[in-house]
Amino acid sequence: MAFAGRHPLLSLALAGITLALIYNEIAGRLSGYRRLGPAQLTALINRDNALVVDLRPIADFDKGHIAGSKNVQMSQFDPENKQLAPAKALPVVLVCKAGESADGAAKRLRKAGFTNVNVLEGGIQAWQSADLPLVKGRG
């Protein structure tokens, strides 16, 4: 209380940041999909045979992607895609460059009935920052 009395602007800023963090956490939980870090994604791939869908342009995909991932470009993204439709019951993880473009795709998958939808938080950049391997080419 003494701090708040002596530093009203800092106290107000702290309260604002706290409310923003709480809002962000609640919004994330209500979105219907989870945000995963690179280590969580690795565990999901190894444990549950997750389908990893890379939404980046084909040129970026060819330069380096997560092993076993499928490339479906955002311009052609369709939840009824032949690569996606059979995976409705499997965990699906969407990957983009920085983790932002995948949100819209995740919402579309949830709306189409996919039950286990995930987004790699930070995208392929987070994967690389964690020093995890990438595969080059279409393989």
pLDDT digits (tens, 9 = 90+) for 54-81: 999 999 999 999 999 999 888 888 887 7
Instruction: Answer yes or no: is 135 within a domain.
Output: no
42 and 99 co-located in one domain: yes
Predicted confidence (pLDDT) per residue in 2-16, tens digit = 887 888 888 888 888
Indicate whether 28 pLDDT > 60: no
96 a catalytic residue: yes
Q: Specify the pTM.
A: 0.76
Question: Which of 22 and 64 is assigned the larger pLDDT?
Answer: 64
41 and 90 co-located in one domain: yes
Which residues constitute the domain of residue 10? Answer: 1-30
Q: Of the listed 45, 96, 106, 119, which one is catalytic?
A: 96
Q: Average pLDDT of the chain?
A: 87
Q: Which residue has the tokens 């979105």?
A: 31
- Region 33-51: mean pLDDT is 93
